[in-house]
Chain A
Amino acid sequence: MDREEVRQNGLENLILLVLGADARKCSVLHLEKEVFVLWNFHPSIDSFVRFIRHYHGPFSKEIQETIHKPMFLDDCWRYHPPAEGDDLSSGYVTLTEQGRRRYQEVVAKIPPGHELHSLMSAMKMVRTLYDKLSPKELLLLIYDTYPEYIEKSSVFDRIDRERKGLAREMLQKGAIDSERYETLLKE
């Protein structure tokens, strides 16, 4: 494998591991932002993926392309297009039976004590935390936390207009606490 193939193979396995970390289906938007959070956390991810500013916040062209056209992991996940009127989620992804088997194989190959175990736990942690947010709620938290990755747009303006209601929804369902709620209102 040349350098680019190694990078692509790494990214595909990274996506497989994030998807396999939780049985729920995952929107492409959630997947991308969760990988971004993991990218900030674990140095080993840095070589597989890049993020640029975008109207959806931190954006990775490689993730978007790999979801639709993987080079190495054929038939491991299935893409489900967004429902009519859904212009935020970018569609959903689920692991196939083959993907589940492949996930188990990859996990089984990680030697005990290897640093990848902490990355695997972190993947479960971010899926637990962020999957419970709607695409709008997720975007509000991401826009608010990483303004350096925002490309202002009609999407940003819409989320910004709905900021108060979205913050209240997150507070009511216990996703954020009152202190975070207050900071979201101040922006």
Chain B
Amino acid sequence: MILLGKCVASDSSFMICFYTDIQRRDWLFEFMRLYDFYVGPRILKEIPSALRSADKFVSSVCTVDLDYYQLVRPFFGRGGSHIDDGEYESIGIAFHLNEEGLLRYLIIDERRARNFVKAHFPGLQSKLVGTVGFVRDCCCRDQSICTDDAISILECMKSAVEKGGLGGKRPCGLEKVGVASIIEPALEQIRKGS
């Protein structure tokens, strides 16, 4: 299938999920080959430095050198707790790509940022997915990856989430309850579609 507008604005949790949580860099780079990923300086700061400096990553990703967080800052205040949050940067990048008619997906896992998109940017809602939803849509909607690969990826994520992260970290941005409420329904949809 030819994808018109195959640009993706993604937060760092998507990349951390593949690089660190399930350690399947091959899948991450395959997605980056299939779609044009856009990131800004805050997102780059949040991802592991080894990934950030990897030649394959540098040559695959489109870097936007603008501080999109400044556009939304009054909605989050001057406090430092959100200053490094790449999610808000990815929303700004997505808004721009959408204006240009190029946006395919905006990948955000964090609840507050997702709610911010829903409250303020209805034009982005149909493109908003989480990491799991992105894998599902790549398979069911775009047919850019095959059913077996999509199932393997989600099974791998499921196993990482069930195992749990160290130091209270949530693998793939999901709590354990996310297995039943997010991963299983996506797996079911993929299996039904096959």
Contacts and interface: CB of A to CB of B under 8 A. Distances in A.
A153 interface: no
Contact of A41 (B70, B119, B120): B70
Contact of B115 (A41, A121, A142, A177): A177
A174 B68 contact: no
A73 to B, nearest CB: 24
A176 B66 contact: no
B119 A141 contact: no
Interface in A28-86: 37-38, 40-42
Contacts of B78: 144-147
B112 interface: yes
Interface stretch (A7-15, A89-97, A124-132, A155-163): A124-132
Interface stretch (B54-62, B95-103, B141-149, B168-176): B95-103
Given A37-B70, A118-B66, A141 B112 contact: no
A183 B70 contact: no
Interface string B67-96: 110111111111100000000000010011
Contacts of B27: none
B74 A174 contact: no
A122 B96 contact: yes
Contacts of B72: 129
Q: Is the interface of B mostly helix, strand, loop or mixed?
A: helix
Interface in A111-137: 117-118, 120-122, 124-126, 128-130
B91 to A, nearest CB: 9
A37 B66 CA distance: 13
A164 interface: no
Contacts of A183: 77, 79
Interface in A167-181: 174-177, 179-180
Contacts of A42: 66
Interface in B147-179: none
Pick the most buried of A122, A130, A141, A147: most chain B CB atoms within 10 A of its CB: A122
B74 A177 contact: no
Contacts of A118: 64, 66, 96
A179 B87 CA distance: 16
Pick the most buried of A40, A124, A125, A126: most chain B CB atoms within 10 A of its CB: A125
A160 B116 CA distance: 25
A186 to B, nearest CB: 10
B98 to A, nearest CB: 8
A174 B77 contact: no
Given A144-B77, A177-B115, A177-B119, A126 B71 contact: yes
Nearest to B96: A121
Interface in B118-155: 119-121
23 contacts: A40-B67, A41-B66, A41-B68, A118-B66, A121-B95, A122-B68, A122-B92, A126-B71, A128-B120, A128-B121, A129-B75, A141-B75, A145-B74, A145-B78, A174-B119, A175-B119, A177-B112, A177-B116, A180-B75, A180-B76, A180-B77, A183-B79, A184-B77
Interface of A: 37-38, 40-42, 117-118, 120-122, 124-126, 128-130, 141-142, 144-147, 174-177, 179-180, 183-184
Given A117-B100, A128-B120, A141-B75, 14 more contacts: A40-B67, A41-B68, A42-B66, A118-B66, A120-B99, A121-B96, A121-B99, A125-B71, A125-B92, A128-B121, A129-B120, A142-B74, A145-B78, A177-B119
Interface of B: 64, 66-68, 70-79, 92, 95-96, 99-100, 112, 115-116, 119-121
